[in-house]
Amino acid sequence: MMGLTMCEGKFVGRDEIAMVPTPTATASWKPVPHSEVIDAVTDVVKAHRWTILEEQYGLARDGQRMFGMIRINKSSSMEWSRCIGIRNSHDRTIAVGLSAGINVHVCSNLCFGGSTVLKRRHTSRIELNGLVLEAVNALELEFLTLENVAEELKIDELNDDEVRASLVVAAERQAIPSCDILSVWKEFKHPRHEEFAEPTRWSLLNAFTETAKKYSPARADQCYRSLTRLFGLDGKPAELWKR
């Protein structure tokens, strides 16, 4: 399983997503049906001749927000699969967006790259098709950056004091609620997967994403976006260890 979480809201299939009513457009706002976003992304993925290995979708806030993951076969590593994160809303809270991600095979944890492309709050279906094509093409660079940073994280070790300080910073940045500091600490010190036994930045990141599995899609999305900057998953200097 890919690791899409669902404490608030529910997992759904495409048929149920297609039944979600789309609000009436206004002169300045044209909401995009959730199903049309998914269809546009999967059409482009198939046009790239990528194989879709798995899909997961969830609805929250009575169908007002949709979150999804599409796991694809193309990857430069045997340790993870590439995946595309999808989000959309009908309540104007978030724009339609796509993100590059990796799904770690051993634990089904998710990590996301630094940019959410296709940030549009209103567009027509015709515009959407062209924008998704551009966005998926742009994700290729995001995938490579994310994978390169992941490889670097695996060789950088941390001492306990550095980890403790990192947990506080992560809570201050609202990557995790403060009540989960101990959960992440315990997962780091006693990981459920032996592959993360070494005290590296990669292991700490996985301790965070393991904890994030219990979050609602919206809360997990906030967590992933915060971790992106904190760990430098966008290729920029990590903020957790600034001197």
| Amino acid 157: pLDDT | 95
Sign of the torsion angle spanned by Cα atoms 135, 141, 144, 146: negative
Task: Give me the tens of pLDDT residue by residue for the chain, a chain 243 residues long.
Answer: 455 554 455 678 889 999 999 988 887 778 889 999 999 899 988 888 888 998 988 888 888 888 888 998 776 677 888 888 888 888 887 778 888 888 877 777 777 765 666 666 555 565 777 778 888 888 888 888 888 999 999 999 999 999 999 999 999 999 999 999 999 999 999 999 999 999 999 999 999 999 988 887 778 878 888 998 899 988 889 998 765
| Amino acid 203: pLDDT | 96
For the chain, the domains span: 10-145, 153-230
| Amino acid 141: pLDDT | 84
pTM across the whole model: 0.81
